[in-house]
Amino acid sequence: MVKAVVGACWGDEGKGKITDMLAADADIVVRFQGGANAGHTIVNEYGKFALHLLPSGSFNANVTNLIGNGVALDIPQLVSEIADVTAKGVPTPNIAVSERSQVLMPYHRLFDTYEEERLSSRQFGSTKSGIAPFFSDKFSKIGFQVWELFEEDRLKEKIENVLEVKNLILEHVYHKPLLDAGELYDTCKQYAEMVRPYVVDSTKLIHDAIKSGKTILLEGQLGSLKDPDFGIYPMTTSSSTLAGYGAIGAGIPPYEIKEIITVVKAYSSAVGAGAFVSELFGSEAEELRRRGGDGGEYGATTGRPRRVGWFDCVASRYGCRVQGTTAVAFTVLDVLGYLDEIPVCVGYEIDGEITRDFPTTGRLERAKPVLKTLPGWKQDIRGIKSYDQLPENCRKYIEFIEKELEVPITIVSNGPAREDIILK
Ligand code: GDP
């Protein structure tokens, strides 16, 4: 049985929490795309953690946590995250790294930084974790799969070949110091030793797990609107954020992905630049940001203040649709308890016309939100364990959004902790 936990919007929907919760019944949790450029926040009996690369099953001793071939593998980051969780008393997690995943090189971060510098005011607002240069290299076929770290002669030769072109760009485009092949080779040898204990044939691992009826959880990073094909291109990430990509990034037959649990947050938030139709500004935004998430809406990896806004039905319905959602986990609902009335965005006005369909980026940037106001519930709903006990207006808010999303909401999250969950 394969389930995916993915995001409907810009990320930060609370996927980490939902994955951590579902990991209790999973045998394998797989990261299948992205890299260490975003974080999942998890609060459990060991404390509060911001995971960037480690799968969210890492707190569960019975779970194998696989870094799939679709991930940008930052080896020092992986090792430091493992050290960090164990230092806080978590039993050593069971980690596996696909031998086909590719290695994020130190120069990927450099190129990310230099390119943003070159773009200056036109920059993408990259986290500078090297993700865009990494995926460019992967598809230009000058990336390094993990197994290559262990084949010394060809590694040496390939490093020389790759640095030839990298150094031309460093010299003539960015006017920066050149890279040294010997130094990079030594770094790669260190990487090889760091990753060696975890390397597996993930195709076989997954195949055997499916054959023996194990439960596999695919853990997505970011959300639909950051997908390079279906998101707000080019203000997207560089690898697909969709559950369907789990088939590729984890090596799973597409028809085995039976459940797609899309995490949708009760209001909107986004990190980085790009169109955000229902965005709030000024004191309204300040208040939602301060009360939002668990201790405020600030990025788990970057600490950057997140942009916040009202719930966007147009974006979220589209986000669920492109994921192929079978059920929605509706999160961070407790935060809205302070509002007398809660506006939600039910349509976009673009060039004088109102639409419910999510447009391409140019039209999206011209869209103005059409708002509908729902009554608030003015109550702290943390601690409530059953759907019936939620205040009536809170249930009405959930049911309104469920209708707009056109997929059932089956999980409601009313607090950051593992037990703050209501099954509907
Ligand atoms: P992810 O990347 O999708 O896992 O999301 P992040 O971890 O970046 O952001 C979600 C934030 O919301 C974290 O600080 C979580 O601890 C917090 N969170 C998750 N679910 C809830 C919830 O139901 N209520 C509240 N108040 N916070 C939540």
In tens, the pLDDT along 345-403 reads 999 999 999 999 999 999 999 999 999 999 999 999 999 999 999 999 999 999 999 99
Q: Report the pLDDT averaged over residues 76-99.
A: 95
Atom in ligand 1 nearest the alpha carbon of residue 41: 7
Greater model confidence, 300 or 276: 276
Atom in ligand 1 nearest the alpha carbon of residue 13: 3
Atom in ligand 1 nearest the alpha carbon of residue 43: 16
Alpha helices (runs of H) in 48-151, residue ranges in sequence order: 75-87, 106-119, 131-139
Q: Range with the lowest mean pLDDT among 210-219, 265-274, 357-366, 395-404?
A: 265-274
Q: Which residues are identified as catalytic?
A: 12, 40
On the question of pLDDT at 301 being above 90, the answer is no
Handedness of CA 39, 43, 49, 54 (dihedral sign): negative
DSSP SS3 for 375: strand
| β partners of residue 72 | 102
Residue 16 beta carbon below 6 angstroms from any ligand 1 atom: yes
Residue 51 beta carbon below 6 angstroms from any ligand 1 atom: no
Q: What's the gap in Å between 13 CA and the centre of ligand 1?
A: 6
Q: Please, which residues have CB within 8 angstroms of residue 107's CB and are 6 or more apart in sequence?
A: 133, 166, 179, 184
pLDDT (0 to 100) of residue 69: 98
**Pocket-testing residue among 12, 51, 288, ligand 1, by greatest number of atoms within 8 A of Cβ:** 12
Residue 34 beta carbon below 6 angstroms from any ligand 1 atom: no
Residue located nearest, by CA, to atom 10 of ligand 1: 14
Mean predicted lDDT score pLDDT of the chain: 95
